[in-house]
């Protein structure tokens, strides 16, 4: 698809990662893939004579420069430059061509993706990952997406009790997300502590992997519901800037909960899913959004989940108050930018 200069300004380039599982491999294909993967690991660790496909070596050098040579323990994904691999999407399942050292044309393996790859997507870098005896590939894709003109603002406040609280300028009734996440994190915290007392460190690692999968699944569902609402209400999404969210010491129990909540992960999921649909996402300064009354703008107090203003005597849920303050700051930003928003409904 090609665009004129005037049309280009109405589009943005959106990227996302499509995950796929490499299906059954023939013995020879698996041996070649394993050899390439393990040679790549040795190359990263300094064995420059390792037999790795030439373009993959170049990708490894760029990766090492980004890390400044500071490699962690464990394996790294095998990186594939976008001009070295190919996916045949006309097949079912898709066929993936992976370049390997010493084999003309590489190997062709069947893959099953978690969502379709369409003809309007451009392939970027891909990463081959080994988990036990199974192989996966994460494929970065991009496409041009038409910008949506927002009529409303969907504001998100992230917190401890609720990982996300949202309000929409078209409807001020708050929505609270994260009850299941809180339950899962709490259950695994006490399970890890119990296992640590028994010195069952192998079991701790296993449940950590399980917890991570469960949390990621919950975060994907929360981000999808938030982005779907923004799409349905023609809203842009406004979030507080998370910089410094973990600074300071507010007590051992509070700090543990704060550090255990994946705010940045959720923020990134919302951003990339929104951008893929052409939905604008902005970050606003959230300084004092939890301390100021969204009704009168004066300072109030927060006790647990309750916010109360000493000036106007207004009280409400503290996370709702924070989300309303973020929404108001976002609306001022949009008005300054010249956008025509519908008149926000407040209560």
- For the stretch 63-76, pLDDT in tens is 999 988 788 889 99
What is the per-residue pLDDT for 10?
A: 84
**What is the distance between the alpha carbons of residues 281 and 235, in angstroms, rounded to a whole number?**
9
- For the stretch 230-239, pLDDT in tens is 999 999 999 9
Average pLDDT, the chain: 86
Band of pLDDT at residue 251, cut at 50, 70 and 90: very low
The pTM of this model reads 0.79
Give the number of other CB atoms < 10 A from CB of residue 209. Answer: 10
**What is the distance between the alpha carbons of residues 9 and 4, in angstroms, rounded to a whole number?**
9
The segment with the largest mean pLDDT, out of 248-252, 285-289, 299-303, is 299-303
Band of pLDDT at residue 217, cut at 50, 70 and 90: very high
- For the stretch 6-58, pLDDT in tens is 445 788 899 999 999 999 899 999 999 999 999 999 999 999 999 999 999 99
Lowest mean pLDDT among 3-7, 78-82, 173-177, 199-203: 3-7
What is the per-residue pLDDT for 304?
A: 84
Band of pLDDT at residue 332, cut at 50, 70 and 90: confident
Domain boundaries, the chain: 5-144, 152-336
One-character DSSP codes across 122-172: EEEEEEEEEETTEEEEEEEEEEEEEPP--SEEEEEE--SSSSEEEEETTEE
User: How many Å separate Cα 314 from the centre of its chain?
Assistant: 36
Band of pLDDT at residue 340, cut at 50, 70 and 90: low
Band of pLDDT at residue 213, cut at 50, 70 and 90: confident
271: tokens are 């951003």
Query: 152-336 is classed in which CATH architecture?
Result: 2-Layer Sandwich (3.30)
Inter-residue contact 16 to 111 (CB < 8 Å) = no
Q: Give me the phi and psi of 291, to 5 degrees please.
A: -105, -20
Inter-residue contact 117 to 139 (CB < 8 Å) = yes
pLDDT of 5 over the 70 cut? no
pLDDT of 339 over the 80 cut? no
């Amino acid at each position: 698809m090609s665009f004129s200069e005037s049309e280009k300004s109405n589009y943005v380039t959106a990227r996302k990662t499509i995950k796929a599982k490499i299906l059954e491999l023939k013995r020879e294909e698996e041996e070649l893939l394993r050899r390439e993967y393990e040679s790549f690991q040795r190359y990263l660790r300094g064995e420059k004579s390792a037999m790795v496909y030439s373009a993959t070596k170049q990708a490894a050098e760029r990766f090492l420069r980004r890390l400044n040579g500071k490699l962690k323990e464990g394996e790294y994904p095998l990186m594939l430059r976008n001009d070295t691999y190919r996916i045949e999407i006309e097949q079912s399942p898709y066929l993936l061509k992976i370049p390997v050292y010493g084999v003309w044309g590489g190997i062709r393996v069947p893959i099953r993706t978690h969502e379709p790859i369409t003809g309007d997507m451009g392939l970027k870098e891909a990463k081959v990952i080994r988990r036990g005896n199974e192989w996966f590939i994460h494929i970065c894709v991009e496409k041009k997406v038409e910008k949506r003109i927002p009529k409303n603002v969907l504001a998100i406040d992230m917190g401890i009790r609720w990982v996300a609280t949202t309000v929409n300028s078209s409807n001020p009734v708050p929505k609270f997300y994260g009850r299941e996440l809180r339950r899962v994190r709490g259950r695994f915290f006490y399970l890890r502590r119990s296992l640590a007392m028994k010195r069952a460190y192998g079991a701790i690692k296993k449940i950590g992997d399980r917890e991570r999968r469960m949390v990621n699944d919950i975060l994907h569902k929360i981000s999808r519901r938030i982005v779907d609402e923004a799409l349905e209400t023609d809203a842009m999404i406004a979030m507080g800037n998370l910089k410094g969210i973990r600074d300071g010491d507010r007590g051992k129990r509070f700090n543990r909960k704060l550090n255990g909540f994946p705010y940045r992960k959720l923020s990134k999921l919302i951003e990339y899913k929104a951008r893929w649909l052409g939905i604008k996402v902005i970050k606003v300064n959230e300084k004092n959004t939890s301390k100021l009354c969204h009704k009168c703008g004066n300072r109030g107090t927060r006790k647990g989940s309750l916010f109360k203003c000493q000036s106007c005597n207004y009280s409400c849920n503290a996370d709702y108050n924070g989300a309303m303050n973020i929404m108001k700051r976002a609306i001022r930003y949009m008005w300054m930018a010249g956008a025509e928003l519908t008149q926000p409904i407040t209560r």
